[in-house]
Amino acid sequence: MNYIKEINAFYDWLETNQLSQSDIVLWHALMHINNKSGWKAQFTVAISVLEVKTGLTRRTIERARNRLYQVGLIDWKSRKGNRASLYELKSLCGNYDAQKAVKNDVESDAQGVAQPVDITKRNETKQKEEEVTRENPVTVYEQNFGIMKPLLQESFLAWCNDLGDDVVIAAMKLAVHKGGRTFSYVESILKEWINEGLDDLNQIRTYEENKKKTVPFRKQKQQKTDSSLFDELRKEGGS
């Protein structure tokens, strides 16, 4: 037995079990005597010695001894005549080490679970916030194009199912920005994106940004072409 470990295990055991002060004093006395005897599996000690070691009366020792036996902390046998009783202390270290290991495992699991649970809660909160701020495509349509007609609703929802609400909403906003006020205009934008193989908002943003950069060049090229045509017409008229 390991004296310190047994004492620690004993007080851990006391956290979930109840003993009187006399029971605890007797247990310590028996542990001390067994330690001095070299941790024998069984050892003998007279009641008179226990009276000195504990300061308890014979009757109190007998009651405490029976209590320790009942809870499984000791085993003892009386012997014939005036011979001292035989005692055996039950080691608590096995239970202590097992409980400590379980406690450490539980704490480790709790720490490991705490972060995923915390992350899950943050994700759920983030998701709820996104759900609150996420726009409804039907609402966006009615705010910008008027009440949606029943015949149009089926086609509108089909676009939402195929490309997603975000893409359809982006098309409606772009249509409004360009001055389009009909769903057919929105559909023309969606069809253009499909033809370009665009199905992601990031791709769409990049595509539209690039279009803005190339439009001035196209206009300038068209203006030069028109000027060249007019110059040729003037020359022909002059000749």
> Quick one: pLDDT at residue 59?
92
Q: pLDDT tens across 159-177, in order?
A: 887 888 889 999 999 999 9
The larger pLDDT score, comparing residue 118 to residue 63, is at 63
CATH superfamily to which 137-238 belongs:
DnaD domain-like (1.10.10.630)
The structural domains of the chain, with segments of one domain joined by +, span 3-91, 137-238
Using CA atoms of 159, 160, 164, 168 in order, give the dihedral in degrees to the nearest 10.
80
Asked whether the predicted pLDDT for residue 89 surpasses 70, the reply is: yes
Asked whether the predicted pLDDT for residue 102 surpasses 50, the reply is: no
Measured CA to CA, the distance from residue 127 to residue 133 in angstroms comes to: 10
Pick the CATH number of 3-91 from 1.20.1250.20, 1.10.10.10, 1.20.1330.10, 3.10.50.40: 1.10.10.10
Asked whether the predicted pLDDT for residue 27 surpasses 90, the reply is: yes
> Quick one: pLDDT at residue 214?
74
Long-range CB pairs of 35-41 (<8 Å, 24+ gap) are 35/1, 35/3, 39/1, 41/88
Q: Report yes or no on whether pTM surpasses 0.85.
A: no
How far is CA 135 from each of CA 19, 37, 91, 129, 180, rounded to the nearest angstrom? 66, 81, 68, 12, 20
> Quick one: pLDDT at residue 32?
92
Evaluate whether 23 touches 2 at the Cβ level (below 8 Å): no
DSSP E strands in the chain: the ranges are: 43-45, 74-77, 85-89
